[in-house]
A and B are shown apart, each in its own frame.
Chain A
């Protein structure tokens, strides 16, 4: 320890001499660090969880038009909007994709239905039966073999106690007479939230030929392209864009990664906001550190006078007080980081229900970040008191009692 800076030593002694006061001020820093770190970790965990959930559909391009509003089934069976993707556009998409992936046209609509005399509401997707197996997974039952057969999502199956092959579903509002009735032949695997526009858990899947017969629609709500090699996704998107949007922006082309980044950035903004709220407590802590440092300077005026008069440089006196602030910050930062680790774990597990992502670097990084912010806050709060101490007149300072 022979190389230990004596000014650091003096600072340590001063903190020890006023232990209670110093520790109380440090508690402010602890709270600030905990607020920042645990909020940061909460945001990071949310982001990691969502990223994980969405990455399953990362190889899918979604092509849609801005407004797709079809006539509601069971009411007027006419399309109220010409918007949607036409057959010729679909052909263009198929040409653009070529052998790089699978093109899956989808018609979707919101509908009322009745199963076992109970009414429900959900999305109805119309797809080619071959595309259904290419894009979705049937948990049990079979795929649609003919018209007047359909599949339902896992939530629908559970809620309505669906029996494969026997349960029938009536499509349309219950006030309507002459509703078409379909046989449920299969239940889809739970899919969760996705970014490809197809959420099947609370949906009915019908064959495209039945749908167009019923509702005489010629346009598709969206076309999904599942790219075989994810590295080709940008090239494929560009090819589609060049074909369809050559003259005007006819369709909108999205992929999961761009949706993912927009969701991530939203969560990022939210978690920055949480952290900013946490930072307010750090500002309060900074004021109390400032106060403690000013007290320390004022109590030691005579000592500062001695130091200056026997040849201590101003910079050395300044350093002594900055060390003191640093020590308060370091103690607060370390205790705060440990507390954040525990509190953050509790917050994440209670709000997100999972701690799978808690120990990843992207989440734990907020511990050192919070600690550094706490220490920097302390040192910054100590700047003025340190400056004041170093610029005292030694004669006046010596005379102080």
Chain B
């Protein structure tokens, strides 16, 4: 594992977002709410960091944003995972699985 802790954290943020949009597209606010709900408040993005992450993922081609307009509503950008994103997510999942397995063995930590 050559990655620093920060990078690990950053990586964790990315994997969380990829996971949220894996099956359904969501706009930014939904993504934030879903993360909050699914982590029961354990993981929170600031506004700036959420969108910074989303744009980074999009630039890498892992997610794709699409503007959706609905009558009477402000238009919103819905994000959805791309094929490249799925491969990265799968890789990361495997990585994290191995990481948690190691942690479990060494420190008795179980993945959530």
Report if A and B associate in a common complex.
Answer: no
Please give the residue numbers on chain B whose beta carbons come within 8 Å of chain A beta carbons, in ascending order: none
A interface residue numbers (CB < 8 A to B) = none
